[in-house]
């Protein structure tokens, strides 16, 4: 925003004759620096890392894009337009019981640090299977129906924003651990919808 309408804005022309501003290049540099500094999977050479982009309009997240270049996959959605992976429509699973569900998460340590270790272990013990996947990948797996639920005790707005749109447009539910359907709640629970209330109750912070 500081460079919006700046009289001394530097604008170059890309090979396809479209303009690129110094603000565009600064944003790209920031994204690259953030990925290199904070994306643990990227740093360790694990392919399950991604870039996340969302569009907010009038306080609502209306577009979400998650790209996993090392996996060769991209997921996206727009409000009212459905959710897609690599151009194909995606939809959440129809698994109706925790005991039949695949649970995804990132770190058991994070649950312990937020005094949720006991609740999480009990929930994971009820599930058919629990797998520790990278956070953005866990939630898009729910969106495409490969997993049935994903829980994270701490998530940032910029992590949650695109995931909320994608999961909801795929027919699932996205809330924080208190059951609020918001991206800025500091945590994340995504499910196929059928399992959501049971998951919130199991984590002990609903209502």
| Domains of the chain with bracketed CATH | 1-38 (no CATH), 48-207 (3.40.190.80)
| 5: DSSP letter | T
Cα–Cα distances (Å) from 3 to 17, 33, 36, 151, in that order, read: 21, 20, 25, 38
Q: Is the pLDDT of residue 207 over 50?
A: no
Nearest to 200 by CA among 170, 179, 181: 179
Q: Which two tokens stand for residue 9?
A: 């804005």
Res 30: pLDDT: 82
Q: Is the pLDDT of residue 94 over 50?
A: yes
Q: Is the pLDDT of residue 177 over 50?
A: yes
Q: Which helix (H) or strand (E) holds 88?
A: strand 88-89
Task: Report the pLDDT averaged over residues 84-88.
Answer: 96
Q: Is the pLDDT of residue 95 over 90?
A: yes
CB atoms within 10 A of CB 162: 28
Res 38: pLDDT: 60
Whole-angstrom distance, CA of residue 104 vs CA of residue 151 = 7
Res 176: pLDDT: 97
167, with CB counted inside 10 A (0-12, 13-18, 19+), is buried
């Amino acid at each position: 925003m500081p460079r919006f309408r700046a009289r001394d804005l530097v604008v170059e022309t890309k090979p396809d004759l479209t303009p690129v501003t110094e603000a565009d290049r600064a944003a790209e540099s920031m994204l690259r620096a953030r990925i290199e500094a904070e994306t643990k999977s990227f740093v360790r050479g694990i392919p399950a890392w991604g870039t996340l982009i969302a569009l907010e309009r009038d306080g609502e997240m209306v577009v979400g894009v998650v790209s996993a270049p090392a996996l060769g996959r991209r997921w996206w959605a727009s409000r009212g337009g459905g959710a897609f992976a690599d151009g194909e429509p995606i939809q959440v699973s129809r698994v109706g019981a925790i005991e039949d569900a695949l649970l995804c998460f990132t770190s058991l340590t994070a649950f312990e640090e937020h005094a949720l270790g006991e609740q999480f272990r009990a929930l994971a013990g009820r599930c058919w299977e629990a797998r520790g996947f990278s956070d953005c990948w866990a939630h898009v797996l729910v969106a495409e129906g490969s997993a049935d639920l994903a829980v994270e005790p701490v998530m940032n707005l910029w992590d949650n924003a695109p995931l909320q749109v994608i999961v909801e447009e795929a027919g699932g539910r996205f809330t924080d651990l208190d059951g609020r359907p918001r991206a800025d709640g500091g945590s994340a629970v995504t499910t196929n919808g059928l399992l959501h209330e049971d998951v919130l109750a199991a984590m002990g912070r609903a209502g």
